Structure 1
């Protein structure tokens, strides 16, 4: 039983870590590229003798789009394999907007970073929970608190991530209107963290009910 439990836990750790790779990679890549582009724009503005440098700096902004009609499209992509153009619709596009227009969204990435911190905290508590179970400490109030902590951390991470996505959606809808498209917030709705957090809270509640029933039975004997 312990081998099966440990195998399942290893798989959970592996796939949770794997799911974090795209976010960490995109954040790191965006930070490095944004820093390089920002520095090059500042240098170019200095060479041109610009008096207000900040208005020239551009920041990346993600557009989550959905075509108003799937029957027709106004866009095309060029296929280099057969050298032909094909009708296409862009669902997710990254544009560069003026930093002064994007406003507080440029600081929204810190929310995602804080959200990752809470996920790491949840993973730490999960490791402690599995370690306790391996030592045959299962139905215990400490594990209930750990499950509740895991659930809260995952829910906090979900709220912070979705807050950033909502900020990005508002900025994109305010600054851009593309022909044949409408902005779609639900493309960035990350429900997995929410579901995992609720499941952890549910299991913690089940453990708590079981412990209370066990204590009441011990008192009646």
Structure 2
């Protein structure tokens, strides 16, 4: 049983680490770009924009009702012909001219995100260690699960706010003929669901603790 528990714990930590690394990679890109822009704007001579001045954004789009949308195509090697495609999600590169408030907000959210992720990992490891020591239904484990749920909820909120800010920025500078930029994927449902699962597990542990205490009192 402990072997399976260790395997599941390792898989969860790997998934969390990969997801966190992916997020920090792109968040760090925005922070470093903001720093570089501030440093270069302090110079006297203006620069011509290049690829390093562009920021990448993944956006979801859909056709506007009653309008003519752009129809694209891709080359199919097997049939040696082009086939039409329906554009739903694209990645665009646009001038990285976000406001100072936007850049500061992103930096603050990253500073909040890192401690929350570290707290989840530490609490999770301590929870696994307690379970392996046969300390299952305890007040400490209930509190750990509730803290894990709270941290995961904070992560979901941070992601959602960041996605909303990115969506608002892209909408303010980009308009695609025949399409509208949608808010699909703005809410971080995976992190939200994980938070709810952690809260549910905490309540299960709390019920188990209550039954254990009642049984001990009866005996």
TM tier, shorter chain?
0.7 to 0.9
Count residues with an aligned counterpart: 210
Alpha-carbon deviations, 1:46-87, whole Å to 9, x = none?
A: 225x9xxxxxxx6737362312169x75164776x8797965
CA displacement at 1:139 relative to structure 2 = 1.1
Q: Is the 8 A contact 1:63 1:169 kept in 2?
A: no
Please state if 1:42 is matched with 2:38: no
Q: What does residue range 1-221 of structure 1 map to in structure 2 within 5 Å?
A: 1-32=1-32, 35-36=35-36, 38=37, 42=41, 46-48=44-46, 60=55, 62=57, 64-68=59-63, 73-74=69-70, 76=72, 87=85, 89=87, 91-97=89-95, 99=97, 102=99, 104-110=101-107, 111-221=109-219
In the alignment, the residues of structure 1 paired with residue 22 and residue 173 of structure 2 have an alpha-carbon distance, to the nearest angstrom, of 27
Greater helix share, structure number: 1
In the alignment, the residues of structure 2 paired with residue 132 and residue 187 of structure 1 have an alpha-carbon distance, to the nearest angstrom, of 36
What's the TM-score once normalised by structure 1's chain length?
0.78
Question: For residue 50 of structure 2, what is the aligned residue in structure 1?
Answer: none
Q: Which has the higher contact order (CA 8 A, sep 6+)?
A: 2
Q: 1:25 to 1:98 in 2, by over 3 A?
A: closer
Q: Is the 8 A contact 1:67 1:89 kept in 2?
A: yes
CA RMSD, aligned part only? 3.3
Structure 1, unaligned runs of 5 or more:
51-57
Alpha-carbon deviations, 1:84-136, whole Å to 9, x = none?
A: 7965626233343463x645322332214422321221111000000111111
Structure 2, unaligned runs of 5 or more:
48-52
CA displacement at 1:23 relative to structure 2 = 1.2
What's the TM-score once normalised by structure 2's chain length?
0.78
In the alignment, the residues of structure 1 paired with residue 102 and residue 58 of structure 2 have an alpha-carbon distance, to the nearest angstrom, of 13
CA displacement at 1:219 relative to structure 2 = 2.3
In the alignment, the residues of structure 1 paired with residue 25 and residue 87 of structure 2 have an alpha-carbon distance, to the nearest angstrom, of 26
Question: For residue 55 of structure 1, what is the aligned residue in structure 2?
Answer: none
